[in-house]
Amino acid sequence: MPKKPPKKPVAVQERTEKGGISKLTPEALSLMADFFKVLSEVSRLQIVCSLKAGDKNVTEIIEETGLGQANVSKHLKMLTQAGVVAREQRGVCVYYRIANPFLFELCDLVCDALTIQAEQHSQQLQQLSQLRQSR
C-alpha cells in the first residue's frame, strides 16, 4: 500500500501557495543549487548524520563515520562555508554542530519520497512478474 506523503509544514505550505520556488530569480536558484551540491556527496551526508545526535569534534566524527582525518576536515570546511554546520572552539578542540536543524526535515522528506518510489517500483516489478508467469 503506497505511503501517503507527509503533510507539509504550514511554512512550506504558505511558500508553495504564494509561488515559492517558481518566483525565485535565477540567482536565487543558483544559490539553492549550490546548497544541494554540498549535500550531494556521501561523505558529507555521513558527517551530517553523525552530527544529528549533537556536537562532535573531528576525532569523534572520524570514529563514527570511518572516514579519514584529511577527508573529514576537507568536508567539514565545505559544510561550514555552505552554512550547513557551525564550528565552535572549546579549549584546544573545535566542535561542529548542525547550523539549522531544518536539514533533517529535508532529509526526511527525501527519504519519504525515495521510499514511495521504491514501493512503486516494487509493485511494477511484481505486476511484470505476474504477467510473465501467466503466459
pLDDT in tens, 80-101: 999 999 999 999 999 999 998 8
pLDDT the model gives residue 14 = 47
pLDDT the model gives residue 12 = 45
> Which CATH class for the 10-99 domain?
mainly alpha
pLDDT the model gives residue 11 = 46
Is the confidence at residue 21, as pLDDT, over 70? yes
For the segment 1-26, the average pLDDT, to the nearest whole number, is 59
pLDDT the model gives residue 3 = 46
Question: Whole-number mean pLDDT of the chain?
Answer: 87
pLDDT in tens, 31-72: 999 999 999 999 999 999 999 999 999 999 999 999 999 999
For residue 96, what are the β-bridge partners? 56, 87
Cα separation, 130 vs 81, whole angstroms = 52
Cα separation, 71 vs 54, whole angstroms = 20
Cα separation, 70 vs 74, whole angstroms = 6
